[in-house]
Structure 1
Amino acid sequence: MTDIICFPDATWDAPLWTNRQHMMLRLARTGAFRILYVNPPALGAVRALVRGKGSNGLLEQPEAQLWVLHLPLPAPNRIVRNRLPQVYDALTLLGTRIAARRLGFERPMIWSYSPFVANYLHDLAGEFVIYDCVDRYPQLPFYAARGAQVRQLDAQMTQQADVVLCTSRLLYEEKQAHNPRCYLVGNAADVELFGQARSGTLPVPAELQGIPKPIIGFHGALDNHRIDYDLLRTIARTRPDWSLVLIGPQTPTPDLEWLTHEPNVRLIGKKALHELPPYVAQYDVAMLPYRLTDYVRGLSPLKIYEYLAAGKPVVAVPVPHITAFDVVRIAPTPAAFIAQIEAALTDTDAAAIARRVEVAAQHSWEAKLRRVLELVPELHGAAVGAL
């Protein structure tokens, strides 16, 4: 049995699951690993303490061999992290040590998605360190005020880790020169779940009943540092006969407010992952309407694989990692985006759908886990016989 302490930059119960939760869940389910998932310290964790989550207070066990550590903060996360970073790190380190000792973790592996772990990496006394890079952290907008520090910590984690995993080609190109054990592992999706959208038997969700076809769909976070609202507004106004359906948690902004005034735009709101297939089944075309910022250029959006698993034609802006996919229509301008949607609406033959599903199958979470285990012998040895 191998113990892993995971330092993500997203809570276990985040509304949109990504690599952090999916990979740790599947590692635990192999039966070869015990996982301690350290939620970022948060004011909300105080409520968990009051409720007495699980049998260990701030330790919750949502899955066999997987524990989530809730670390309470006396003030909102961003205030403490930005103004009192030493306090933030000390609380994280102390809470992690106590939880690891309670669970009997000795010389665990450290699996970090956060560059900030560099501040206390040596104090963790980990047996082996994996730095899993899923974002260009220094380019994240909410780290803008601390860009120089984040770049330094990101570089430290890259150099000090035993292995660096990268989800996008751009991340890999940036980091491979700084660590000889740097691997491009890509992103993934719950292919089986989104494959349900191809069944033809899912009921039409109430929010989509009566919405005119065709439906051009998107699901994901609606925020200004990713979404190109100008592009969406242009599509809506140029093709009033199309319905734009946007599903996901919303960050209130003037851009989003202006978009709601377009009569053919529907904002559905946040949905849990398992609720999405009936909505995706109604898409005629799936889209990735992102702004091509320095941050976005480093992404490998997992929703692309979800769309493909559902068999849907996909139109996307030219995010570098996905431009090589022959099953994704790339559009660098609003005019091209509209033209590619028009073409995609006719791309419904069985062979095209089968090809999209085939590509998605190569990017399931199970396929990614196998790939990581093959690349990292230190993990593979622990998992022999479990897969």
Structure 2
Amino acid sequence: MNRQQVLSRLAARGWPVLYSTGRLATWDIGSEAFASAPWFPGFIEDHQVTIDRPARMLLRCMRLPPLESLSFRLHARHLMGFCQKNDDTRRIAIVYNPEFLPYVQALRPIKTIFYIRDAYADEGGWSQKRENELRSLADLADEIVVSAREMSKILPAKHQERVIEIPNGVDYVSFSAGHLTPEPTDLSDVPEPRIGYIGRLNRKVDWNLIRLIAESRPNWSIVFVGPVVEGEMALGGRQKEMDAVRRLKNVHLLGLKQHNQLPAYVNRMNVNIMPYDLINAPWMRSGYPLKLHEYLATGLPVVSAPLSTVLPFASVVAIAHGLDDWLRLLEEAIAGRGAGTPEQRRAVARENTWDARVDRLEQVLAGLL
């Protein structure tokens, strides 16, 4: 996750960091997140980052405005308590989603960075209220950061020229050395060649393409490492497409893994892929995949859909247009003829580390103080 990589490094460099995902909502009742949540608000520490734990007693209650207002004020006061115990002169809000605009207004940071992580309007569930929040946050922000230049197109024209591009990076040391760790037990029985994908399994994946590849090459193992996002799959009828893939014997869904486990999986594939559905998930056209440089750090071949952010890396990433292209490029990669050499792929990854990205973000932060 972009935020984990950025915030943990800022904390390691001496910045007091508080991370919050906001409150749970009434519709979370009955979920695993609600069951594991404490009754009262609190904080935990992880990699020197202070993490706000959503509490059951402070739920979002959109159908009961007075209760919603009280819940929000109490949660904002809880977060303000952390700020006041630390260096208040450096209270900078880094906001990843426009729906957190009310928190910026309540916490009154000295400076605000709007860090755009996605083309929000293309994700589904977008509304005029969210559009207004985005515009207001852009007006309020002292700096606007994007992980890909095309994401700035969601902003009003007056803000597009002032964005700062800080693409996603890679923990190069971990991903380049993943082959030195033991092979995961749930992967050891999966026959080669293995075609791997790491990440959330949702409607951005081209499930029809995956089915056609798996059916066309039954001797290939297609391996998915990541959680299935069932709620998103139901949107647009994608659940049936994924169910058809699940039934195939040469498709292996290994489930959610901790981030520090991923290098061991990615390094045990023959090819790693980014099979995005750019028609049904249009926001991916401007996305900068977190896995791009993680894949390259392994030195293994990579095949991708034609994302605008991936095209500049065509010397080390094979770009596939349609099923025939995918089959041909995967065959070449399995045979050792993928785009670039192992060292060329690793060299690109070394130029795109998270440490370098956070160096740039620290320059932005220093400029605000």
What TM-score results when the alignment is normalised by the length of structure 2?
0.85
| In the alignment, structure 1 residue 294 sits paired with structure 2 residue 282 | yes
Q: Which residue of 1 aligns with 2:250?
A: 264
Q: Which residue of 2 aligns with 1:12?
A: none
Q: Which residue of 1 aligns with 2:235?
A: none
**Aligned with 1:187: secondary structure?**
coil
**Aligned with 1:297: secondary structure?**
helix
Per the TM alignment, residue 152 of structure 1 is displaced from its structure 2 partner at its CA by 1.9
| In the alignment, structure 1 residue 282 sits paired with structure 2 residue 254 | no
| In the alignment, structure 1 residue 367 sits paired with structure 2 residue 349 | no
> How do 1:1-387 residues align onto structure 2 when only pairs under 5 Å count?
18-31=1-14, 33-42=15-24, 44=33, 47-49=36-38, 58-64=42-48, 66-74=49-57, 80=61, 89-103=72-86, 105-106=88-89, 108-141=91-124, 144=125, 146-175=126-155, 177-179=157-159, 180-197=161-178, 199=179, 201-224=180-203, 226-252=204-230, 253-292=239-278, 293-326=281-314, 327-347=316-336, 352-378=341-367
Q: CA RMSD in A?
A: 2.7
Any gaps of 5 or more consecutive residues in structure 2?
231-238
| Contact 1:159/1:178 (<8 A) preserved | no
> 1:355 is matched by which residue type in structure 2?
Q
CA distance in 1, matches of 2:156, 2:341: 35
**Aligned with 1:250: secondary structure?**
coil
CA distance in 1, matches of 2:222, 2:152: 34
Show CA shifts across 1:41-71 (max 9, x none): 1264685535x8xxxx60222244x311223
Show CA shifts across 1:6-65 (max 9, x none): xxxxxxxxxxxx11121111001012x111112321264685535x8xxxx60222244x
**Aligned with 1:158: secondary structure?**
helix
Show CA shifts across 1:169-199 (max 9, x none): 21135448433531111111211111113x4
Per the TM alignment, residue 104 of structure 1 is displaced from its structure 2 partner at its CA by 6.0
**Aligned with 1:207: secondary structure?**
coil
Per the TM alignment, residue 378 of structure 1 is displaced from its structure 2 partner at its CA by 2.4
**CA 1:45 to 1:340, structure 2 compared with 1: closer, same or farther past 3 Å?**
same
CA distance in 1, matches of 2:113, 2:18: 15
**Aligned with 1:244: secondary structure?**
strand
What TM-score results when the alignment is normalised by the length of structure 1?
0.81
Show CA shifts across 1:88-144 (max 9, x none): 644542332233234463561111111012234333221111011111122223xx1
| Contact 1:202/1:281 (<8 A) preserved | no
**CA 1:296 to 1:88, structure 2 compared with 1: closer, same or farther past 3 Å?**
farther
Any gaps of 5 or more consecutive residues in structure 1?
1-17, 382-387
**Aligned with 1:269: secondary structure?**
coil
CA distance in 2, matches of 1:286, 1:83: 48
> 1:331 is matched by which residue type in structure 2?
A
CA distance in 2, matches of 1:164, 1:123: 20
| Contact 2:121/2:154 (<8 A) preserved | no
CA distance in 2, matches of 1:123, 1:235: 51
**Aligned with 1:67: secondary structure?**
strand
> 1:138 is matched by which residue type in structure 2?
A
CA distance in 2, matches of 1:317, 1:82: 42
CA distance in 1, matches of 2:221, 2:194: 5
CA distance in 1, matches of 2:63, 2:6: 28
> 2:275 is matched by which residue type in structure 1?
P
Show CA shifts across 1:218-255 (max 9, x none): 0111112x111101001101111211011111134333
| Contact 2:16/2:86 (<8 A) preserved | no
CA distance in 2, matches of 1:186, 1:250: 26
> 1:345 is matched by which residue type in structure 2?
I
Per the TM alignment, residue 86 of structure 1 is displaced from its structure 2 partner at its CA by 5.0
